[in-house]
Structure formats: structure tokens, C-alpha cells
């Protein structure tokens, strides 16, 4: 089966079901370098949108993919960094919607909402999922580690403005990291900003996959209960997931393709191999362990694989 350059998945999303990912930017290009990022530290820390790939190339590949009989629930512009850094975002979203009747979602850290062009582009999406991990500048710089030119107050004001203008589904997400943004007063500071935003859902996440920094930890269950109470959101960990899928017939190459975009833990790998009736799982696991381009990370008592 064909391997794609801009399309990956479907990936099981605890929020949206089987999500087909669209990558419209270069790997690890972002406005932040979050301590919890599952992709590792940002390589290209940016401050404004730029042109990356040709939209027509992405759309042509998407058309090719749709010829395959694959079950998807949503098309998600997510990239391997911050997708709103693509200067052609509106053209991409409108192009995708012209091709498929599936909802088009964009996962974003919200930092580029300060640009009118980005807000206009996102209004074309069916679902927008911005993140808000801090209630003040100091916490923001500590947990999200943004480009020095990024202004927290301007971002929050732009997010509030966008929420008043947007007619689609606005799903907020807050990542809670122990010792970074989980103090009671920090939670109330986040709540104060959320109260100004017209959102439809709030998802609360914790760093369950290997983060960029080894010192990152999940909050305790007691603390998470407090977070849910104060922020009045839904814990993503309580949501069910789908299953991974790949068009590639070779089991090892299929997994390698998936983890180039989205890390998988050992249980997800084994479940994936079982779904494909793999006859030699141990051989595939051995290849994953020994491959020069694959990081094998031990985190929370289980093994996770991601591309270096």
C-alpha cells in the first residue's frame, strides 16, 4: 500500500473517534516548546505563520487516500507542531471540506489567533480545539516555553474574541502537569480566563505519554479531581479510544510509519499487531527496540516507541 507524505492514521482519538491526521507543516515547528510535548523539544521555535507545503499537493494526496476503504470519523489538521503556522491554512481547510463530508477539525495551541488571517481560516473549520494551560504569564512561560515574541495576554484576548465570532464547535483543552500549573490558585486563574470564552467543551489532559522533559509528572488522582471540580471539564483519560490503522502491509513498517507522527506504547503496538493477525509479534518488537531511528522510552512502567 502507498505511504503518504502529509496524511497519517487514522489515529484513535479519545475526543473524536478515528481521526485522520493532516500534516501541513514541517516536523517540530511550533510557537511553543512545551515541557510535556510527546514529540519532544521543538526544533523550529517560530513566532508567525509561513508557507510550508503546497496545498494542492496535500489535497491530491487526500483524494488518493479516500479511494481506500478506511473508516474515519473526522479529518484533523494537526501536523507535528503548530498547524496554524501554515500560511495556507484557510485554503487547506476549504479544500478538505470540498472533498469530504466528514467534519474538519484543527488542533491548535491558540497562539496564532492573534492574527486576523488565522482567525478567519479557523472559522472555516467544523471543530477547533485550542489549548489553555496557564492563567498568567509566569506559568505560561514555565509550562509552554513559547517563542520570546509571544505575548500571553494578547493570546488570551484573541481567544476570547475568536470564541465570540466562531460558529463551529469550540473544544478547549488544558494540560495539567504536577508542580507546574496544578496549584489551587493557578487553577482558579485558568478558570477566570475560561469564564470569558464561549466554548462548547473543556477537556482536561495529563501527560500520559513520554514528555519532552523527563521531570514532567502527572498530578495525583486527588489533585485531578480538584482540577475537574474547579475547571468544570471532562478528563480525557475517562474517554474511550479507538484502534490504530495503517495501509502499509509490512507490520514493522506500518508501526514505524505511525510512530513517525504519533508515539505508541507497547500495549498499543501489541493490540495493533493482534488486529492484523501478526504471527511474530516478538520479532516486530525486537526490530522496534534495535532500530537506529527509533527512540524506546520507559515511562510510567511501560515502554513507548517514537521516531527520533
CATH code where residue 308 lies: 1.10.10.10
pLDDT tens digits, one per residue of 8-53: 888 877 677 788 999 989 888 999 999 999 888 988 899 999 998 9
Helix H or strand E encompassing 65: helix 55-66
79, pLDDT greater than 90: no
Are residues 62 and 106 part of one domain?
yes
Contacts of 121 (CB under 8 A, 6+ apart): 84, 89, 90, 93
296: helix, coil or strand? strand
22 plus 80 within the same structural domain: yes
In the predicted model, is pLDDT for residue 201 greater than 90? no
Q: Of the residues 191, 224, 242, which one is the last residue of a structural domain?
A: 242
Domain that holds residue 188: 7-242
The answer, as to whether pTM is greater than 0.95, is no
- Which CATH number covers residue 40? 3.20.20.70
Q: Could you say which DSSP state residue 114 is in?
A: G
Residue found under cell 511553543: 32
Confirm if 35 and 104 have CB atoms less than 8 A apart.
no
Amino acid at each position: 500500500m502507498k505511504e503518504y507524505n502529509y496524511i497519517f492514521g487514522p489515529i484513535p482519538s479519545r475526543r473524536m473517534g478515528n481521526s485522520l491526521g493532516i500534516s501541513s507543516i514541517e516536523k517540530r515547528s511550533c510557537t511553543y516548546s512545551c515541557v510535556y510535548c510527546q514529540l519532544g523539544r521543538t526544533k523550529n521555535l517560530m513566532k508567525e505563520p509561513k508557507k510550508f507545503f503546497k496545498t494542492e499537493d496535500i489535497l491530491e494526496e487526500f483524494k488518493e487516500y479516500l479511494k481506500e476503504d478506511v473508516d474515519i470519523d473526522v479529518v484533523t489538521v494537526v501536523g507535528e507542531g503548530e498547524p496554524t503556522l501554515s500560511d495556507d491554512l484557510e485554503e487547506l481547510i476549504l479544500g478538505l471540506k470540498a472533498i469530504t463530508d466528514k467534519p474538519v477539525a484543527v488542533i491548535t495551541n491558540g497562539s496564532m489567533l492573534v492574527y486576523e488571517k488565522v482567525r478567519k481560516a479557523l472559522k472555516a473549520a467544523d471543530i477547533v480545539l485550542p489549548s489553555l494551560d496557564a492563567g498568567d504569564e509566569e506559568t505560561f512561560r514555565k509550562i509552554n516555553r513559547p517563542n520570546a515574541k509571544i505575548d500571553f495576554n494578547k493570546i488570551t484576548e484573541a481567544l476570547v474574541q475568536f470564541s465570540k465570532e466562531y460558529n463551529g464547535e469550540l473544544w478547549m483543552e488544558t494540560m495539567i502537569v504536577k508542580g507546574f500549573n496544578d496549584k489551587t490558585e493557578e487553577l482558579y486563574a485558568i478558570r477566570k480566563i475560561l469564564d470569558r470564552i464561549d466554548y462548547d467543551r473543556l477537556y482536561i489532559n495529563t501527560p500520559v505519554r513520554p514528555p519532552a522533559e523527563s521531570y514532567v509528572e502527572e498530578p495525583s488522582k486527588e489533585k485531578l479531581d480538584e482540577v475537574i471540580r474547579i475547571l468544570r471539564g471532562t478528563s480525557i483519560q475517562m474517554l474511550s479510544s479507538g484502534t490504530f490503522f495503517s495501509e502499509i502491509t509490512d507490520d514493522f513498517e506500518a508501526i514505524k510509519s505511525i510512530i513517525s507522527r504519533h508515539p505508541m506504547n507497547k500495549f498499543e503496538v501489541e493490540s495493533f499487531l493482534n488486529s492484523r493477525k501478526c504471527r511474530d509479534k516478538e520479532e516486530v518488537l525486537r526490530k522496534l527496540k534495535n532500530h537506529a531511528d527509533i527512540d524506546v522510552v520507559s515511562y510510567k512502567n511501560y515502554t513507548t516507541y517514537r521516531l527520533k
